[in-house]
Structure 1
Amino acid sequence: MKELKKYKMYINGEWVESLNGEYFPSYNPATGEPWCQVAKGTAEDVDRAVQAAHQAFSNPEWANLTFTERGRLVRRLGELIAEHVEELAEVETLDNGKLIREMRGQVKYMPEYFYYFAGLADKIHGQTLPIDKRDMFVFTSKEPLGVVAAITPWNSPLYLTTLKLAPALVAGNTIVIKPSEMTSASLLELVKLVEKAGFPPGVVNVVTGFGMPVGDTLTSHPLVRRVAFTGGPESARHIVRNSAQNFAKVSLELGGKSPNIVFEDANPDNAAMGIIAGIFGASGQSCVAGSRAFLHVDIYDKVMEKLVDRVSQIKIGDPLKDETEMGPVATQAQLERIEKYVSIGLEEGGKLIYGGKKPEYLGKGWYFEPTIFEHANHQSRLINEEVFGPVLSVIPFKDEQEAISLANSTEYGLAAGIWVGDVAKAHRVAKAVNAGIVWVNTYRAISPMAAIGGSGLSGYGREGGYEAIQEYLQDKTVWINTSSEPIPDPFIMR
């Protein structure tokens, strides 16, 4: 049997094994077989990584860099990523089953985030305050927080790490990253480029392993000043509880039950393609997956016909082949979760229109067919709970107010799609829908200039855009007494 490749952790500028010397397997979702091994971190490994990051934060090699110099380093990292698109894309496809053509596009676009934040580096500034005391000059400055903990998920490890890494570094912080135990390899490949870009030792660290003890120790560590998490609500609750130990700032980018609302004057072809992009792109494993489609009764049959016709033609198979349109889901547990929710949908009265099962002809891989359910109302758990897979729920609606009510009938508030010809209606509905991101006549569009984030069970805080860099800074207020007069009564507040 061929020996599996081993990935070590990256701490203080060195590639190291865990202190217990243990490794665990990472599986290729397309085959269901292990393809590499990853170091199994311990609480002690987390501590040495955080200590390294803490020391690097005040090390003159990093602390004394100007904003412009930090920006150049971050830009250099982006340039190196652009030079290694194919290698990074292939490793992520092997590790989490995403389409190679999607990963090529995603990794090719990732440098734009590093360039954007690098460009913001020397635009970070405070302000002078028009203070109401004549003998005082008061100004503010923007300061880095210190050690940042980044917890990243298995569905888009590289992209979702980028959203945290670029602004954290530009702001002058140091970082310890804990990738998902399911998909650590691509991030470890990316860190090789961090090293090559010339970042000082300890500025970027990666500890691999499981939530207990790695994630738990990292998010509660007394030297961690900020936790940036992407994942599910249960893990998020645990992180929030942990932050009571260190009072770290926390941002949570969680999941959603995002609606696609199709009005009677929408282009039915575009609406059908947008719905497909929203739920069957990335095999439905996206925080912004448009898992609920609300179709106006006047256009319902036309959109459904186009939807089912195109879905029936989706090519499922090996994600490393360019012709494949839908690959496997990332984990065995996720496959079982999808199967469970399909059963729930059927039990609760949903009508299965297409799919609904694992395509056995694809062997041991963790594949699931693109699946469409019709529902008469919004009562099923399938509609209200996040599945995180290629399962679409479709419901008809009669008018604008009903569409808005249906869209907002969820505890999530991350994204929404609106398909409409009437511009005034587009503005009204975009304002009324509870979502941090609203796409009109498109879906799953991204840019480094545009923030991502939601409310409710979708979390809080923003990633991407100018707003993101503020999440990695803190304000300092400086008072300077310009008077040469003696200090008055010390027992009275100035």
Structure 2
Amino acid sequence: MFEYAPAPESRDIVDLKPSYGLFINGEWVEPLGEGREKTVNPASEEVLAEVAVASEADVDRAVQAARKAFTVWSAMPGSERAKYLFRIARIIQERSRELAVLESLDNGKPIRESRDVDLPLVAAHFFYYAGWADKLGYAGYGADPRPLGVAGQVIPWNFPLLMLAWKIAPALACGNTVVLKPAETTPLTALAFAEICRQVDLPPGVVNIVTGAGETGAALVNHPDVNKVAFTGSTEVGRQIARSVAGSGKKVTLELGGKAANIVFEDAALDQAVEGIVNGIFFNQGHVCCAGSRLLVQESIATELLEALKRRLGTLRLGDPLDKNTDIGAINSAAQLARIRELSDAGEPEGAERWSPACLLPDKGFWFPPTIFTGVAQSHRIAREEVFGPVLSVLTFRTPAEAVEKANNTPFGLSAGVWTEKGSRILWVASKLRAGVVWANTFNKFDPTSPFGGYKESGYGREGGRHGLEAYLDV
């Protein structure tokens, strides 16, 4: 195994303010209440900045600003809206190093991921939807589709800037205005995006960003002048939102949890499958709603595959998220670490066998080693509940039909993976899986042109691609 010298990315590129207000009507404003929260670096527990907590009155100010801006923005020709989106995309590219460092500081993910995955995809989403802005009549939703109005958007902490792009880019392309609430533990890149909105001279009120926790999100979702609600997060909160907006006439999309099956058949390319398994569950510390957290491996190759997987896990490097050699970063918060520990600690008493590679955890910060459970039954909590951490449950199967049955035995239905050399088997299995996205001989591949979303308790509606426009149009 190679010994790597430290290769830290510089923090100097990021200009952090000690305190942030709310971004309403194109201006930084102080909250009407006294609420302030600290956002911390999960790798060191260092306080990064103090962030305003928006009250119900603050949310109302933001919604009213968005409502006023809607008359101007929706009347603007699509080709003009596209120019703003193109400008945003270009500035994101120009500032990508700064934004990647900020994302890793606030979220805990390795800089390699924020630099090489998150930021290119963020820019790509704005470029892609800029292209749609003057072509909405050709999207398949009628000759002259109209925007809905004000979109209230609530995003999670696992991909803060990417989830912002998934929400804001199609909303603006369609002519809507936005009030967005980032997650309380990861607000900093959303606040940096507010500065980008000012940099491109986006008309005031088109994008408003209000920070806060659950109460702020509830105030936004329940505001009577919000026409569209978009939420990415837990199934539990998704249920609450669905109940609260029922009968209100608001259009809703929910992208919720998952418990994806990654199915490996005996004829799969073993080394390729191992890389896909690692990417499927240990990418972003497993903080991925579509993570391949259940490995279904054909019985005949289970021993060989597990040996190869354990060897590969022994080479993963856990540590400083800003080190370019780091594979596994910090868990996002103390609360999430407690949740991962609770579910993992239930694994062995229920009969599963736990394994982690030799791994020194830093003294400060929130850390959890990559973990595999074998001997897992479908009834175990680790096989049924979303851990949202670097924890893999391994189950076996004998026939393709058994693999499909086990894969579908979950209340979720967001994603799945299939590994085999037979194209016919890929197509047969994919057609039987109740999952919104099925990857074949790969995992966690995203593209702005491709729709993403789930079934059952994984939510409804699609984001990305032509399909992602529908949620923001009156069709």
TM-score, normalisation: structure 1: 0.90
Does the 8 Å contact 1:97/1:327 carry over to 2? Answer: yes
Q: Which amino acid aligns with 1:101?
A: R
Matched, 1:24 2:37: yes
Does the 8 Å contact 1:452/1:462 carry over to 2? Answer: yes
Which residue pairs with 1:86 in the alignment?
Answer: 97
SS of residue paired to 2:443 = coil
Correspondence for 1:252 among 251, 254, 258: 254
1:82-231 matched pairs, under 5 angstroms: 82-105=93-116, 106-125=118-137, 141-212=144-215, 214-231=216-233
1:185 and 1:45 map into 2 onto residues whose CA distance is 19
Q: Which amino acid aligns with 2:45?
A: G
Aligned length: 459
Q: Which amino acid aligns with 1:251?
A: T
1:429-444 matched pairs, under 5 angstroms: 429-444=429-444
Summarize the Cα distance change of 1:127–1:272 in structure 2 as closer, same or farther, 3 Å threshold. Answer: closer
Which residue pairs with 2:10 in the alignment?
Answer: none
Does the 8 Å contact 2:62/2:208 carry over to 1? Answer: yes
Q: Which amino acid aligns with 1:46?
A: V
Does the 8 Å contact 1:147/1:175 carry over to 2? Answer: yes
1:301 and 1:295 map into 2 onto residues whose CA distance is 10
Does the 8 Å contact 2:377/2:383 carry over to 1? Answer: no
2:322 and 2:25 map into 1 onto residues whose CA distance is 34
- Structure 1 segments unaligned to the other structure (5+ residues): 130-138, 476-494
Summarize the Cα distance change of 1:361–1:144 in structure 2 as closer, same or farther, 3 Å threshold. Answer: closer
1:398 and 1:63 map into 2 onto residues whose CA distance is 56
Does the 8 Å contact 2:370/2:391 carry over to 1? Answer: yes
1:370 and 1:126 map into 2 onto residues whose CA distance is 46
Correspondence for 1:310 among 292, 309, 312: 312
2:149 and 2:392 map into 1 onto residues whose CA distance is 42
Which residue pairs with 2:60 in the alignment?
Answer: 47
SS of residue paired to 1:362 = coil
Q: What's the CA shift string for 1:110-164, capped at 9, x where partnerless?
A: 21111111111111117999xxxxxxxxx85200000000100011110011011
2:462 and 2:18 map into 1 onto residues whose CA distance is 36
2:33 and 2:165 map into 1 onto residues whose CA distance is 29
Does the 8 Å contact 1:317/1:328 carry over to 2? Answer: yes
Which residue pairs with 2:50 in the alignment?
Answer: 37
> How many Å apart are 1:423 and its aligned residue?
1.0
1:165 and 1:390 map into 2 onto residues whose CA distance is 29
SS of residue paired to 1:229 = strand
2:45 and 2:382 map into 1 onto residues whose CA distance is 26
1:186 and 1:259 map into 2 onto residues whose CA distance is 31
> How many Å apart are 1:165 and its aligned residue?
0.4
Which residue pairs with 1:464 in the alignment?
Answer: 464
Q: Which amino acid aligns with 1:446?
A: F
1:16 and 1:347 map into 2 onto residues whose CA distance is 52
TM-score, normalisation: structure 2: 0.94
> How many Å apart are 1:22 and its aligned residue?
3.2
Q: What's the CA shift string for 1:350-370, capped at 9, x where partnerless?
A: 011325x9x664012101000
Percent of residue pairs bearing the same amino acid type: 43
2:423 and 2:140 map into 1 onto residues whose CA distance is 42
Q: What's the CA shift string for 1:29-57, capped at 9, x where partnerless?
A: 00123221111110000000000000111
Which residue pairs with 1:72 in the alignment?
Answer: 83
RMSD over aligned Cα, in angstroms? 1.8
Does the 8 Å contact 2:149/2:177 carry over to 1? Answer: yes
Summarize the Cα distance change of 1:261–1:126 in structure 2 as closer, same or farther, 3 Å threshold. Answer: closer
Q: Which amino acid aligns with 1:294?
A: L
Summarize the Cα distance change of 1:185–1:125 in structure 2 as closer, same or farther, 3 Å threshold. Answer: same
1:4 and 1:149 map into 2 onto residues whose CA distance is 26
Summarize the Cα distance change of 1:446–1:362 in structure 2 as closer, same or farther, 3 Å threshold. Answer: same
Does the 8 Å contact 1:224/1:246 carry over to 2? Answer: no
- Structure 2 segments unaligned to the other structure (5+ residues): 1-15
Summarize the Cα distance change of 1:128–1:312 in structure 2 as closer, same or farther, 3 Å threshold. Answer: closer
Does the 8 Å contact 1:261/1:403 carry over to 2? Answer: yes
1:222 and 1:457 map into 2 onto residues whose CA distance is 26
> How many Å apart are 1:263 and its aligned residue?
0.3
SS of residue paired to 1:277 = helix
Q: Which amino acid aligns with 1:189?
A: A
Q: What's the CA shift string for 1:369-388, capped at 9, x where partnerless?
A: 00000025311011000000
1:256 and 1:267 map into 2 onto residues whose CA distance is 26
Does the 8 Å contact 2:136/2:145 carry over to 1? Answer: yes
SS of residue paired to 1:439 = strand
Q: Which amino acid aligns with 2:213?
A: F
Runs of 4+ in 1 over 2 A off after TM superposition: 126-129, 244-247
SS of residue paired to 2:394 = strand
Q: Which amino acid aligns with 1:119?
A: G
Correspondence for 1:340 among 336, 342, 367: 342
> How many Å apart are 1:245 and its aligned residue?
6.6
Does the 8 Å contact 1:372/1:392 carry over to 2? Answer: yes
1:215 and 1:125 map into 2 onto residues whose CA distance is 33
Summarize the Cα distance change of 1:391–1:360 in structure 2 as closer, same or farther, 3 Å threshold. Answer: same
Which residue pairs with 1:492 in the alignment?
Answer: none
Does the 8 Å contact 1:146/1:224 carry over to 2? Answer: yes
> How many Å apart are 1:4 and its aligned residue?
7.1
Does the 8 Å contact 1:30/1:328 carry over to 2? Answer: yes
Q: Which amino acid aligns with 2:82?
A: G
1:70 and 1:273 map into 2 onto residues whose CA distance is 41
Q: What's the CA shift string for 1:278-312, capped at 9, x where partnerless?
A: 00010000011100001101111111111000112
> How many Å apart are 1:64 and its aligned residue?
2.9
1:191 and 1:412 map into 2 onto residues whose CA distance is 34
1:4 and 1:434 map into 2 onto residues whose CA distance is 46
Correspondence for 2:27 among 4, 14, 28: 14
Summarize the Cα distance change of 1:361–1:143 in structure 2 as closer, same or farther, 3 Å threshold. Answer: closer
SS of residue paired to 1:224 = coil
SS of residue paired to 1:246 = coil
Which residue pairs with 1:452 in the alignment?
Answer: 452
> How many Å apart are 1:422 and its aligned residue?
1.1
SS of residue paired to 1:407 = helix
Q: Which amino acid aligns with 2:113?
A: E
Which residue pairs with 1:420 in the alignment?
Answer: 420
SS of residue paired to 1:345 = coil
